Amino acid sequence: MNKINLKQLLIPLFTIAIICFIWFGPLRITIENIIISVIIIIANYIEYKGKAFSELGFQREKFTFKNIFVLAPLVALGLFIFYAFVLVPGITKLTGVPIDYSGYNQLKGNLPDFLTFLLLVWITAGFGEEIIFRGYFMRQFMKFFGESKVSIALSIVLTTGFFGFMHSGQGITGQLVTFIVGSLIALIFYLRKYDLWFVIAVHGFFNTIALTCIYFAIDL
């Protein structure tokens, strides 16, 4: 375990406690991931002062047209092909239960709802989930336990395991698929030297492809 001071210990513990209360407490908030993301940024500002964003992985020098609008969409497309043609059929065969997409039925052929939901997904999932799970949880884990291969592997398994659990609305197959996709995104985050902009773009474009398929009633 890395040497950390009291401030570096208490602020993350307090922040995680607030996050858990928002997720599992009595309050139900539609944009909870955005609120949590703001709380995380504030917590990082207190802990790191001028490095609130860079410590999450927002690296200005890596925010380029090539990275965000060429490489990230290509990675997202490759990830979606693996998801649609290998992962979903394989996990469905293993569990015997298809992914529950019923929550998205209203998007089929409904352009206004599709565009509204797409914007919401980019904000809450693309930005929100990546800030929470990769930028904060994964980075905090490695702050406490170092960046050895074992630590990296554990951080990916634990954070994406929780990430999969949070998608319980899609059933057991959806949770397992989300765990694997989340693990691959976390691995990309690590291999890209903690480039949060890149995984936000990958996540956002992946969801865009998936929602477009739902809009056009293409079976996944």
Could you tell me the residue ranges of all domains in the chain?
59-215
Q: What is the mean pLDDT of residues 100-113?
A: 90
Is a pLDDT exceeding 80 seen at residue 28?
no
What tokens does 217 get?
Answer: 């009633």
> What pLDDT, on the 0 to 100 scale, is given for residue 154?
94
Confidence class for position 14, pLDDT limits 50, 70, 90: very high
> What pLDDT, on the 0 to 100 scale, is given for residue 2?
66
Task: Fill in the DSSP letter of residue 121.
Answer: H
pTM value is 0.94
* Cα 42 to Cα 48: distance, rounded to the nearest angstrom: 10
Residue 28, Cβ density class (10 Å: 0-12 exposed, 13-18 middle, ≥19 buried): exposed
Q: Report pLDDT digits (tens) over 162-198.
A: 888 888 878 899 999 999 999 999 999 999 999 999 9
Amino acid of residue 195: D
* Vertex 203: Cα angle to 78 and 218 (nearest 5): 60
Cα–Cα distances in angstroms (integers) from residue 104 to residues 99, 176, 212, 214, in the given order: 12, 19, 11, 7
